[in-house]
Structure 1
């Protein structure tokens, strides 16, 4: 028997023997239940008696009968074994149709337009009691996810690395968006020279914006920016009433074009593509509800069935 000599705690096998002897009154039957020989179980009983400083079970014509000390300890032993058994039980299953859980997802304002409506429609259909909350991606996102205050982060979030898992949902390239009746671009062709000459509206937030600005600097291209916006709110109304050009990731560009009758043009700049990923903290990798939500996002937003999860460091 391996016993912590400082705490003098009985091992699980000795507590299991205690429970069986109490219920069967037989060393032989207890040995059969434990899959051990009778001599081995007798040795364990000797160790248990020494540890608890009591005979515990006394041989009588009616079998092994408990001492008053054993009677007093039996409820404690049963409770301890019940707690240990719960450690090895499977985590409760997540049943979407019956859940009332609230999930908090950190995402960009572009994802509010492109991803959130589809996600909400799906969740309402399969999990009517589940509630969603959209939160900003900011410097506090990592801490919120580690603490369990946020469940997922979706977007281009390169600083979520150590301690996080990530899964690529789709790859983004870039397009230009203009008024469908644009006086110079309605024909659908945009060259670098024309790009430099046209007035622009700039979205000046997010990691994607940094990729665009880095490309402009590298190629020494100067945009004539007439208006800067902190996000995509109001952009469709501005483009549909002006001759401004917006350069933005394809997913949000094509979504705004469909909903606001705008024209999508091929971007003349070789702006690097980027991957939109979902991120979750390692603490919640095996959480049933978190797994379900990740699976929903993958099914809705990944092209095809292939997926790759990058493990937490």
Structure 2
């Protein structure tokens, strides 16, 4: 067995390959090139006289020897790097790091454009990817293939942090020149008109039908979709109504073709949060991105203010998100 000296990067490399299940993923996290990671891994295999990782259909999996060694590796990392993983410095002015955000479709339409604009101002070289939320979101966060996830309650197991951003409620939308609906929407109109409904079991919107049922509301659903992407075109070319998150209603109304309306019954609300894995809680770049998003979206005011005469208006511009 070889007895070469080990350093922090060796321990980090083993931890990151196990999490990412690939040499490429590990190299992105610890800031070493892929050839450098491969060379170090070869030396570690010689040092421990064990393959450490084997290739499988699910990526590179740790050997039983390495699995038993990992708790001791974590202890070594904590001793050598008390910051808990902030081994990769982050400078917003010069960094070209690529961040990957897992977003609900509503967040992609409403929040993502604002995040992109903020990054262009404060971190012009940073790159940004938007990824759909799905059942693999937790695994992607844990492996580092996603930096953050943003949306309604996401089913994540132990080891994740979450942070409340803002509360959201629902509004109804119709085309601006709808022949029977204008300004205020009555309960009778709501029940008589045909509707478009979103069917998305993995999102917070899945609670809507149950909430409507509890309020004695039964929609005449003529069209069902699996995403709000393309919603504006459907609504503007039909007489259908749709219930959407209020901030999405505001976004769609900006073009003047969509009419946002207050629901004629008490609406449910939900909280939008951001989520990340504890492995990246102290990562300098992840921490910077979390703070940027929190500062932009925390405790937003209601997307619309509703007047007693049924008119719908935007909140005071001073309180709108920047």
Q: TM-score range by the shorter chain?
A: 0.5 to 0.7
Larger Rg: 1
Q: 1:195 aligns with which of 178, 190, 193?
A: 190
Give, in whole Å, the separation in 1 of the partners of 2:220 and 2:140. Answer: 39
Give the corresponding residue for 2:267.
271
Give, in whole Å, the separation in 1 of the partners of 2:93 and 2:109. Answer: 26
Give, in whole Å, the separation in 1 of the partners of 2:174 and 2:226. Answer: 18
Partner SS state of residue 124, structure 2: coil
Give, in whole Å, the separation in 1 of the partners of 2:256 and 2:130. Answer: 23
Give, in whole Å, the separation in 1 of the partners of 2:246 and 2:272. Answer: 12
Give the structure-2-normalised TM-score.
0.64
Query: How many residues in Structure 1 have an aligned counterpart in Structure 2?
Result: 221
CA distances 1:141-186 after superposition (whole Å, capped 9, x unpaired): 0011011111000001341252111111110011000111111111
Give the corresponding residue for 2:156.
160
The answer to whether structure 1 residue 141 and structure 2 residue 137 are counterparts is: yes
Give the corresponding residue for 2:254.
258
Q: Check whether the contact 1:212–1:271 (CA below 8 A) recurs between aligned residues.
A: no
What is the RMSD computed on CA atoms of the aligned residues? 2.2
Give the structure-1-normalised TM-score.
0.66
Q: Check whether the contact 1:211–1:271 (CA below 8 A) recurs between aligned residues.
A: no
The 3 A distance-change label for structure 1 pair 161 and 302 is: farther
Give the corresponding residue for 2:68.
none
Give the corresponding residue for 1:298.
294
Partner SS state of residue 215, structure 1: helix
The 3 A distance-change label for structure 1 pair 244 and 84 is: closer
Give the corresponding residue for 1:15.
none
Structure 2: segments with no counterpart, 5+ residues: 1-76, 301-322
Deviation for aligned residue 1:259: 3.1
Give, in whole Å, the separation in 2 of the partners of 1:282 and 1:239. Answer: 42
Give the corresponding residue for 1:129.
125
Deviation for aligned residue 1:219: 3.3
